[in-house]
A and B are shown apart, each in its own frame.
Chain A
């Protein structure tokens, strides 16, 4: 770190880091210099000229842009003398020369930097009396974003974002001179996963979001901070509400997590909250039909029945599936309810997907998102981050592009990060273990040589064909190669890391403690000793009729299953199924009682993200109808069943968690609301109660068929929340099969033609997508698409063109 330099801004002297931009240094010390084009998280361009200040470095005063000039020792800056004011007035007069005065109908009106700065620094009147340039009023440049070119002041924030940050420059300046406009290429919409960020950073109303169009004005919004439930990195955001309706989400600049960026799924996924399909009253199945009943009736019914089953057959005859969709408080209540009231260890929040619970919750040397910034090498061997973990994707992309971090990407097909990767490796779906042993045997030297120094390994299940344990083996391999790498194990599902930390796995207890009857938290009393089953185990036990009752908490084993018949047959055999959920899902066909739950923005609590960061989420609207948070439903159930947990409120649960869960000691709502607004990484003292050292699993042999099936998650799928989003539900690609052009030639398939994909477990028709990113001999099918057949996990596949 070099010596700080002293600069003087408007007579105030302060020390700043050399090399810092003047506009940033001044802002950090309390002097705001007006700007349009400069953005804290992007490179400066000096396009708008609004930040002109007078700088004297010993050669006399000069008018320079504060956003493109770095501070130097002894710099004297004047940000508001007469000359600067005159310059600011002139710049604003020019910017407004063509800017329409339609502020009253503009969605940005009231929170518009151009409005604000024209008021604060503008001349008040304009000398331009000529007719302003006009364009067609808003043109849709994507399914989500509207562009009003009249309002554009050509600051290049959106175009820079899409080139520098998200890496899909689908909008650019077109034409020149006074005809310059921002636009897309004809018939190439701005279909970026991150397009909503351009709306957020646009300093005028040129880019507006369709879901927010004309819905409200800034002065009738009230807002609260929260985190997104879609992406397991939990990007921070602010929920804007009017008349008890969420109208938009805005990213918050959280240094350790999301740098103010949100993916479109995080940003526009709130639409499901007000969906008319939300459950708003308890439902009971009578004679095959679901009938609304009162809470007391439903709770009595469920409590008595579950109590009876526990009494008759013991807790082992009850399965608890899910719990990853709520807050940590909900998960803790469920964990305690299952162990103490239902007397069962059959609890699983992972739904049998991805790496093991121990690895996810307690991996040694757990990495942070920010660790990728100062790593030597980032290894990504897991799902396509752009599709599944967009916040992490942007962070890794930035590290590779701007910070000179080596990036190694290993995936069966092209990923969003490949264009910034130092090295990429492809492997055949299911062949991960073989590639791994090749790597440890010393092949692919140019890749393995990169895995040294400070390494961050981001590992997860890349393809459905891969062994879920592969991620752990990769982590073990990186540990062999690089000593103490940072490991970020990836999983999907909203608050899975929090749920596991609360003990929602057969072999875990709250606070990252290995399960054992002696380790039971004090207030819990006695807990069952027998080891529980995971989700596939529970479904098997259901088929064998060893389990009588199932409690689904925000879980859809049928919808999530790759072999839905197995799951639905198992649930069909269950004697009693209770579901706590926000929507009716595919599994609820088998439910006897369905209890409506409160969801995103409808409850207070904490959640834990993939790096173990605990953040506070807040309630701002009531749940529809009689929906209630999970913890309160479970608390009442426990009272009905005579073993009251007495949880009281989410805050008292949080206090109980801090008291009984070793990893969560010191976490309180006060801390998260005041001192740790960006969240706090647990355990606060860094000492893991349970450390899981990754082990190399014995590899399965790669299947050796000519054509292999690679199934992976993509951003938009048929998840129950996305299905109920008006705008996002249209963005799912649907049933498609990606095929390499040469492969397509061999099959005789052209773009868009129907092909029949057949595996040992399923078959269905898909539309062919000719895609050079998918290697020859591989068919890529996005998972969980609306209308798509389930193909099972077996990668051996046959593809024929439907004639």
Chain B
């Protein structure tokens, strides 16, 4: 008797079938539980525990170890600002302050409306393009405090259904670490990374 929707249950079955041992599926299933309810609830973790034959305590242990599993409600846009060494040297803290100031949301929190969440994160692997900021895990490099303010204003005003890294880079980004020369098609929906099995992806082809 699952509390999940049929679609999520089908996805869960499909994910579990990929692994020789059920418990290996705990991490993708946690994402599913998160997508199902918006964030990871105790009930969601118990549900995952049932699916993968672990105890809820073990599931919570995994869920609380990784910062990308949100155990509190997250806004539609999750703005993550890197404050690790490279970004910090190039003003990551100023960017974070600008984001906090413009959005009125201190880092680690979500606004009352449920639109914006702000967090500071450790290195997200874009040191060459410091300061790096992510919106729903879509990367923008070379962000300045001014650009960050613009970004927040844009999110608040335009409220795009999905966010795409190339689009935002063009609007708010600066120096890029590396140009792949390939256009990123996928855009992220909701406060999750663009990830096919979760249904949180919106490709350019979709309308």
Q: Which residues of A contact B (CB under 8 A)?
A: 168-176, 183-188, 741
Contacts and interface: CB of A to CB of B under 8 A. Distances in A.
B64 A185 contact: no
B180 interface: no
A168 B55 CA distance: 8
Nearest to A186: B42
Nearest to B60: A185
A184 B57 contact: yes
Interface residues of B, number: 16
Interface of B: 1, 42, 45-46, 54-61, 64-67
Nearest to A175: B64
A188 B57 contact: yes
A185 B58 CA distance: 8
B65 A185 contact: no
A351 B46 CA distance: 44
A157 B32 CA distance: 32
A183 B56 CA distance: 11
A579 B18 CA distance: 65
14 contacts: A169-B57, A170-B55, A172-B58, A174-B60, A174-B64, A176-B67, A183-B57, A184-B57, A185-B42, A185-B46, A185-B55, A185-B59, A186-B42, A188-B57
Contacts of A169: 54-55, 57-58
Contacts of B57: 169-172, 174, 183-185, 188
Nearest to A419: B53
Majority secondary structure of chain B interface residues (helix, strand, loop or mixed) = helix
Nearest to A770: B1
Contacts of B46: 185
Contacts of A172: 55, 57-58, 60-61
Contacts of B45: 185
B43 to A, nearest CB: 11
B187 to A, nearest CB: 30
A183 B61 CA distance: 9
A176 B122 CA distance: 14
Nearest to A184: B57
Residue among B54, B57, B64, B66 with the highest chain A CB neighbour number at 10 A: B57
Contacts of A186: 42
Contacts of A187: 42
Contacts of B67: 176
A751 to B, nearest CB: 11
A419 B56 CA distance: 17
B56 A173 contact: no
A186 B63 CA distance: 14
A181 to B, nearest CB: 9
Contacts of B61: 172-174
A741 B2 CA distance: 13
B21 to A, nearest CB: 13
A188 B64 contact: no
Given A169-B55, A169-B57, A170-B55, 17 more contacts: A169-B54, A169-B58, A170-B57, A171-B57, A172-B55, A172-B57, A172-B61, A174-B57, A174-B61, A174-B64, A175-B64, A175-B65, A183-B57, A185-B42, A185-B55, A185-B60, A187-B42
Closest 6 A-B residue pairs measured CB to CB? A172-B61, A185-B56, A185-B57, A172-B57, A175-B64, A176-B65
Contacts of A173: 61, 65
Contacts of A741: 1
B65 A188 contact: no
